């Protein structure tokens, strides 16, 4: 503490028998607080904070940018921006065509655990439990994790002893599942193209769509109608329906799914009664979050 302040406090203590509490703080306590603040600052990795500014520069309106544009929107120098972008490209979190840079779906790996714990799934659980009880089949909540779907919520059917063998933490390919297609449909067209470029479709069953042109059509259809049905593409004898969940800004943050064996779930009922129930469930979940 500066000397003149100490002297001033001394004079005040004589003139005022009961000075304000803040004027009686011990010198070592004040210095300790300042040291803690400086220590906390020393513990921070400022280059990581600058990297976050680079990531935040990208948005739905700015999915692909030049080096100069990223530097402008992040507020960093071109030299620093270039190093961060090249590091992201090297790690697989960004890509470049030689002129422009864009983030890749691999970034979703960093966020799936957050999404899994988000309030949306706490809200979805009782609503999906009602749907499962009413329709008699298992329900799920899921997020996109790269080229795969990660299941973060599972409501098993109470009516049937034999359920679909998917649990929380299970993963399935995005290209041959209804939940994967509605989640892909929630991406920007550029992000969908990047995701399809990375996917290597394999015929899981004789009915699996593997041609990327047809997969692109299926994703676009899911985008238009707001739901997707997959019939025996992941596994023979299994049908599923999925509906996206959107945040307040309209961006898809997850999806809900219901699936069951072909012996119990007629395809027409899946496309009519089940679709109506699941769309209503999604609307109720989103309304509860608003």
Summarised one tens digit per residue, pLDDT across range 89-110 is 999 999 999 999 999 877 776 6
The pLDDT tens digits of the residues spanning 162-182 come to 456 667 778 889 999 999 999
pLDDT band at 46 (very low <50, low <70, confident <90, very high): confident
Model pLDDT, residue 24: 47
Please classify residue 42 by burial: count the beta carbons closer than 10 Å to its beta carbon, then call 0-12 exposed, 13-18 middle and 19+ buried.
exposed
pTM of the model: 0.60
Summarised one tens digit per residue, pLDDT across range 102-152 is 998 777 766 655 554 567 888 999 999 999 999 989 899 999 888 889 888
Per-residue pLDDT tens digits for 167-222 = 777 888 999 999 999 999 998 888 888 888 888 899 999 999 999 999 999 999 99
pLDDT value for 2: 42
| Structural domains of the chain sorted by starting position, each given as residue range(s) with its CATH number in brackets | 3-43 (no CATH), 46-103 (1.10.10.10), 109-289 (3.30.450.40)
Mean pLDDT of 67-88: 95
């Amino acid at each position: 503490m500066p000397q003149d302040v100490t002297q001033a406090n001394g004079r005040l203590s004589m003139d005022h028998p009961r000075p304000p509490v803040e004027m009686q703080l011990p010198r070592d306590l004040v210095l300790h607080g300042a040291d803690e603040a400086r220590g906390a600052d020393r513990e921070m990795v400022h280059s990581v904070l600058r990297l976050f500014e680079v990531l935040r520069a990208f948005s739905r309106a700015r999915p692909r940018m030049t080096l100069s544009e990223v530097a402008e929107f992040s507020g960093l120098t071109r030299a620093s921006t270039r190093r961060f972008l090249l590091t992201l490209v090297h790690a697989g979190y960004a890509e470049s065509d030689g002129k422009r840079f864009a983030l890749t779906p691999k970034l979703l790996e960093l966020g799936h655990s957050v999404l899994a714990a988000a309030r949306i799934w706490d809200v979805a659980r009782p609503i999906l439990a009602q749907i499962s009880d009413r329709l008699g089949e298992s329900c799920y909540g899921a997020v996109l994790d790269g080229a795969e779907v990660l299941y973060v919520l599972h409501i098993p059917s109470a009516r049937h002893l034999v359920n679909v063998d998917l649990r929380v933490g299970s993963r399935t390919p995005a290209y041959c599942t209804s939940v994967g297609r509605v989640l892909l449909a929630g991406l920007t067209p550029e992000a969908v193209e990047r995701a399809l470029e990375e996917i290597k479709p394999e015929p899981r069953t004789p009915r699996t769509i593997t041609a990327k042109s047809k997969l692109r059509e299926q994703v676009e259809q899911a985008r238009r109608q707001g739901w997707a049905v997959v019939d025996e593409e992941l596994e023979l004898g299994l049908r599923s329906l999925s509906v996206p969940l959107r945040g307040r800004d309209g961006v898809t943050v997850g999806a809900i799914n219901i699936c069951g064996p072909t012996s119990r779930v007629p395809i027409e009922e899946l496309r009519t009664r089940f679709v109506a129930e699941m769309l209503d469930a999604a609307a109720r979940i989103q309304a509860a979050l608003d």
